[in-house]
Each structure stands twice: as structure tokens, then as C-alpha cells.
Structure 1
Amino acid sequence: MRTACFIDGYNVFYGLVAGTSFKWLNLPSLIQHIVHVEAPESQLTSIDFFTSGVKPSLASRGSQSKEAQDTYLRALIAKGVVVHYGRHQLEARNAPRFISKQSPPSRLDQVAIWKLEEKETDVHIAISMYRLASRQASLPAEERVQQLVLVSADTDMTPALKAIKEDFPDLRLGVILPHREGTKRTTPGSLKNHSHWMRRLVTTEELAAHQLPERVPTKKRPAIKPEYW
């Protein structure tokens, strides 16, 4: 069963690898492993990865964080992953002051903040999945994708899954939640309702087993695992 995978990079980073030693993640290898476990007849044919560039001024390690992200993306591209870039939008806003969890927010007590939002990613993923689904009927049978897999826990993707399931009933839909073992996360029921199968968490053992080699050959200079990763 030919399978195309669509990955929300922001979800993967903060759901699976942030704060761990597993940031140099071999996504193609991990995704192939998971889809084979969930649907043994699956054959992974493409991976599309959606992300936005780190803003050095807001990153914990400044330009070093940006360089690490760029290096990792070069490694993924060398492994056959197609990377799509969105953007971050930074705006000055007002928000209720946080006092404690026991004190409710008040519009009468607000402070100025910088609000950072990732833009375009969800829409880009949704459109890409739907467009791929719509193209299948015009392809020879041996080239058609029979399964789409979404790697995200973002319920904003629910309308896209619902539309694809209704309009292309022959396509199987899988969802991999980028939830690391041991973290307390709620399973988004709206995604589950519109998929044929769902993987709810990724184990520490799986993350450790699917790491890239420290040096990944590319068309230019090799992508080398950042020292602090």
C-alpha cells in the first residue's frame, strides 16, 4: 500500500524531542517503522515536512539554534524528505497578567507582550494532502497512493481529514500523534474520528533506535550533528 506522509515539524519538535538527546531524529526511518507496525502492508513513498525558520532573536541559543535547525533540515533533505517553509509572525499584543492558577485572568489587568505565531503551516499541510488525494484518479494504478499519514496532534487538521475521508473514501488515513512516552497528553478525538488508525505515542526506545548518523552526506558539505544536541 503506497503511503504518503505529511509532518508538522513544530508538533514533532515540541512533542517528541525538545529537551531530549533525540533531536537528531531519523524521521524517514521512524515513520517507516511506525506505519509498518500499524499497517504492515504499507510502503512509504514520500515524506513532506512543514516548518518555519527559527528566529535567532527569540531562540534559547540565538544564531546557534538557527544553524542547528538548518543543519537538521539539510540532513532530512539528503534522506529524501521534501521540506516546506512557512513563517513566524511576531506582533506586540496585550494579554491578561498571570498571577497564579487559582486567579482567573482579567481583562482589566493586562500587560504588553510579544506574541509569536507560526503562520501558513496548517493550511499548507491541509491543501497538500487534499491536492495529492485529488490527483490519484488521473494516475496509473501502480503509481497511485492508497494511504495518507498525518504526523500532528493539531485539531485544526480535523476539517482536512474529514473532507478527504468523505471525498476520497478509497484512501486510508492514518494519524501519528507526536507524543513522547511518559508525557501526559490528551488524545484529540476529532482526529481519531476521521482516521482509519491512530498511533497515540512514540516510545523512548523507538526514538533512540531511529537516530541519524553523526555525519549525513549531502550534495555539498555533510550535515553534522550539532554538538549540543
Structure 2
Amino acid sequence: MVPLLPKPHTLASVSFFTSGVKPSLASRGILSKEAQDSYLRALIARGVSVTYGRHQLESGKAPRFVDKNTPASRLDQVGIWKLEEKETDVHIAISMYRLAAREASLVPEERIQQLVLVSADTDLTPALRALREDFPNLRIGVILPHREGIKRSIPGSLKDHSHWMRRIVTTEELAAHQLPNRVPTMKKPAVKPDYW
């Protein structure tokens, strides 16, 4: 496995990008929203910067699924609700680029040495390409948030524009890096939901 950071290293900051849960569409309704809110308060209490995008729900049409042996057809469509996350990938791209630009103005000894993206979203490829071209001394790492045992294709465009890539996050790593069940915050504590 590729080491995440050169040793010795210091974690400068962590940024988390998300969109708020829509209770009417979530499997656990308002409980899903409350769980997300609690999780985000816990992250913020631990010094993580949280940036919000938004969800957009629109009606649309899509080819009807018949079975795996029947190809999709524009002539056989059904009405659907299409839920899209908006702005999150743009927020990530701009934040990474702005951080790199701010760091470039510092003396070399004070600059961060690498940015690590945890995502498999190929919409971020142009941002990684620009970072590699404009800040050649800044290392770019990508961690795909894939669990072990699940076969997923590797997004080649992200791999092409990063210095290194992790393909999975192990169950042991996830277990070793959980937040406590109760995280003190400025107001009421953030409590991990029972079903998590």
C-alpha cells in the first residue's frame, strides 16, 4: 500500500464537502437529517472545515429497465425523480486550487507539501490537472473511498493527474479512525446514532 504522507508529517487541515440530506427522500426520513447534522457538528468540533453544496430534485424521463439482456431505449421511457448534488465538486476544486495558490506565496519551508483528495469523482479531473500544471512542486494524492471486497473500476483520469492513489480503505482502517460515540461541541454534544 502507498503511504499516505511522507514521514515525518503534520496534518495541516481537513475539509469536508457535502450537501444536506433531504428528509423526504432519505431512507430514515428526519432521522437521517438529524444524524448528518450531528456528524457535521462533531467534525466541526474537531476542527474540520465543512462546506455545503445543495441537492436539486427535478422530474425527468429515463429509459425503462426491463432486464439485463434488454438494452435501454429512448423509445421506452418512464417518468422519474432525478436527485442531483450541486456545487459540491466545484467547491472542492476551487478550495484545492485556492489553497495551493495561497501556499505558493509562502516561503518554501512554510508551504504544505501535498494535497490529498478523498473522492472517486472524475469531475475533479480538470482541477487535479490544473494543480499539477500550475503547482508542479505540490504532490497530489487521491484516496478512493472504496471498501475492500467490492470490485470497482479505477478512475483513470484521476490516476493520471495524481502522484499516488489508494484504491481502497480497509475495514480495519475505518474501525481505527472512528469518532467517539459522543463528541463535545459548543452547544449540545454530537451523539453517534445507534444505527451507525
Distance 1:224 1:207, change over 3 A: same
Where do 4+ consecutive residues of structure 1 move more than 6 Å?
A: none
Q: Of the candidates 142, 146, 149, which is equivalent to residue 182 of structure 1? A: 149
Question: What secondary structure sits across from 1:46 in the alignment?
Answer: coil
Spell out the pairing of 1:14-93 with structure 2 (5 A cutoff): 37-93=4-60
Unaligned runs of 5+ in 2: none
**RMSD across aligned C-alpha pairs, in angstroms?**
1.5
Q: 1:151 corresponds to which residue?
A: 118
Q: 1:130 corresponds to which residue?
A: 97
Deviation of the 1:141 alpha carbon: 3.9
Q: Of the candidates 72, 94, 102, which is equivalent to residue 105 of structure 1? A: 72
The structure whose residues are more often helix, as a share, is 1
Unaligned runs of 5+ in 1: 1-33
Partner Cα distance (2:47, 2:182) in 1: 16
Tell me the TM-score normalised to structure 2 length. 0.95
Partner Cα distance (1:85, 1:97) in 2: 33
Q: Of the candidates 159, 165, 173, which is equivalent to residue 206 of structure 1? A: 173
Q: Is the 8 A contact 1:155 1:188 kept in 2?
A: yes
Partner Cα distance (2:104, 2:177) in 1: 34
Partner Cα distance (1:54, 1:137) in 2: 36
Partner Cα distance (1:141, 1:167) in 2: 16
Partner Cα distance (1:41, 1:106) in 2: 55
Spell out the pairing of 1:161-176 with structure 2 (5 A cutoff): 161-176=128-143
Partner Cα distance (1:158, 1:89) in 2: 23
Q: Is the 8 A contact 1:181 1:204 kept in 2?
A: yes
Alignment length (residue pairs): 196
Deviation of the 1:35 alpha carbon: 8.6
Partner Cα distance (1:170, 1:67) in 2: 42
Q: Which amino acid aligns with 1:65?
A: S
Cα deviation, 1:185-208, whole Å, max 9, x if unaligned, reads 111111111111111111111111
Partner Cα distance (1:123, 1:35) in 2: 27
Q: 2:85 corresponds to which residue?
A: 118
Partner Cα distance (1:198, 1:185) in 2: 14
Q: Which amino acid aligns with 1:201?
A: I
Question: What secondary structure sits across from 2:136 in the alignment?
Answer: coil
Q: Which amino acid aligns with 1:146?
A: Q
Q: 1:20 corresponds to which residue?
A: none
Partner Cα distance (1:66, 1:186) in 2: 31
Tell me the TM-score normalised to structure 1 length. 0.82
Cα deviation, 1:125-157, whole Å, max 9, x if unaligned, reads 111111111112322444322211100011111
Partner Cα distance (2:2, 2:14) in 1: 12
Bigger relative contact order, structure 1 or 2 (CA pairs below 8 A, ≥6 apart) = 1
Deviation of the 1:210 alpha carbon: 1.2
